[in-house]
Amino acid sequence: MNIQNLFHRDLSFLRQNASKNLQDWMEEFQTLLKNPDKQHQELGRMRELAFLMGFSPQATEPFLTLRRKGGHLYVKPLGGERQTRATERVGWNGWVELRSYPLDEKHRKAKVECIAKADPDILVLQEVEDRASLSDFNRDYLGPKLDGSFEQWLFSEGNDNRGLGHAILTRNGYRIVGFQPHAHERDREGKDLFEMDCPEYTVVTPTGDELTIISARFQQDGKDLDFSGKRKEQAQKVRTYCDRLLMQEKKGIVVCGTLGEVSYGDCLRPLLGDKTLRDLPDHLRHETVNGNRQNKLSNNEPIGGWLAKHDYLLSSVPLHTGIQQCGVHFPSVLREREGGKCFFSGRSRRGVSALMPPLLWADFKF
């Protein structure tokens, strides 16, 4: 599941929605702030910019005033009386840039409910901000909902400058016994191939079977940028990982994550072209639920409506043929059905869409 941060999100996401003027003011303020030899005119301009950016307790801009008192730093909202910035009497009083902002509790609750309904033994997460947040999320949020937190968990940070990384959590006798990062891979231009990483986990089941999970997050398109070529290069590299595992006679292979492209896109052909890896919708075309043929999604939408998805749970043929049931859950959108499990609902053509990336789940029989 692409969790899109647990507690705090990098300000770069927020700045994408800021106005052009606000972005220019913030960039100018940062440039002046980094100058160690500020002149009177530059300090005056910084005060003007501080006013234009509207420093206040409700503001989402990345600057606050800090004051030192009794050996501690205190946040003081701007907009009040003018104060001396630095003297022997008041100590240091200045600006500091905040790199993240807190997420609303309702977003976190929706993600927790989504995970609790799937009730997984193995949980793979993407875009986790740090190890401490993962630990708190597991203990304080997942633990109470799942009658106990995950017993083993691993966080790995890759190439992302915001610190975002991948995580895997296991419980009920499933053990993490191997981990191989691929953050060092380079593309044809010598740059990082993967924006974060593409970690490879080895998990042993309670019965002793071995499962290899590759958590893949491919390059996403920008506003005016098309990265389909980069995604195809990433898909080709992941396919080499799968071919290596198949040569080693590893039968339990899973590739999951946000691949940034529809299933019929050319850039995913290395993974989906020859059916070596199977996706969940393929399985739903011939799955039976309560003795009835399940040729449609649970909200009576045709399965073709799910083709616009960018999130995948691919599995090798031996695993795919052993799927007992599978589905997807969109946080804050779906209702509880089928005994708490949420089967594929897709994106409705009537305008119902997900607020956050979905969680894909599958019950495999080894």
Cα separations in angstroms, 260 against 161, 188, 215, 217: 20, 20, 13, 8
Whether the per-residue pLDDT at 365 is higher than 50: the answer is: yes
pLDDT for 180: 95
pLDDT for 161: 84
pLDDT for 149: 95
Position 286: which residue type? H
pLDDT higher at 30 or 320: 320
pTM to 2 decimal places? 0.69
Helix (H, G, I), strand (E, B) or coil at 6: coil
CA distance 269 to 266: 5
pLDDT for 345: 37
pLDDT in tens, 172-210: 999 999 999 999 999 999 999 998 899 999 999 999 999
pLDDT in tens, 264-292: 889 999 999 998 999 886 555 333 233 33
For residue 11, give both structure tokens: 């300000």
* CA atoms lying within 13 Å on the CB side of residue 153: 23
- Stretch 65-87: mean pLDDT: 54
CA angle, 103 then 109 then 114, to 5°: 125
CA angle, 136 then 129 then 240, to 5°: 115
The CB density around residue 85, as the number of other CB atoms within 10 Å, is 12
pLDDT for 263: 85
pLDDT for 145: 93
Cα–chain center distance at 45:
38
Dihedral sign (CA 268, 350, 296, 120): positive
pLDDT for 31: 87
Place of tokens 């492209």: 261
The CB density around residue 316, as the number of other CB atoms within 10 Å, is 21
pLDDT higher at 360 or 94: 360
pLDDT for 54: 67
For residue 107, give both structure tokens: 């977003």
Position 68: which residue type? R
Fold for 105-364, please state it: Deoxyribonuclease I; Chain A (3.60.10)
Residues in the chain: 366
pLDDT in tens, 107-152: 788 889 889 999 999 999 999 988 988 999 999 999 999 999 999 9
pLDDT for 284: 53
Asked whether 358 and 311 are in contact (CB, 8 A), the reply is yes
pLDDT higher at 6 or 209: 209
pLDDT in tens, 298-357: 333 434 444 456 889 999 999 999 998 888 887 753 344 434 333 333 333 333 344 467
* CA atoms lying within 13 Å on the CB side of residue 294: 20
Position 71: which residue type? G
Residue 331 bridge partners (DSSP): none
Asked whether 280 and 360 are in contact (CB, 8 A), the reply is yes
Sequence-distant (6+) residues with CB within 8 A of 169 are: 122, 123, 125, 134, 138, 142, 150, 152, 153, 154
The CA R_g of the chain, rounded to the nearest whole Å, is 24
Q: Where are the alpha helices (DSSP H) in 60-154?
A: 105-118, 131-136, 143-145
| Confidence band for 77, pLDDT divided at 50, 70 and 90 | low
* CA atoms lying within 13 Å on the CB side of residue 160: 22
Place of tokens 């080693």: 248
pLDDT for 72: 55
pLDDT for 156: 93
pLDDT for 60: 47
Q: What is the DSSP string of 68-80?
A: EETTEEEEE-SSS
Domain assignments of the chain as residue spans, ordered by start: 11-102, 105-364
Strand positions, DSSP E, the chain: 8-10, 63-69, 72-76, 86-87, 91-97, 100-102, 122-128, 152-157, 165-170, 175-180, 200-204, 210-215, 253-258, 277-278, 288-289, 292-293, 311-316, 323-329, 359-364
pLDDT higher at 333 or 71: 71
pLDDT for 57: 38
pLDDT in tens, 31-59: 888 888 888 888 888 888 877 776 543 44
pLDDT higher at 83 or 320: 320
| Confidence band for 358, pLDDT divided at 50, 70 and 90 | confident
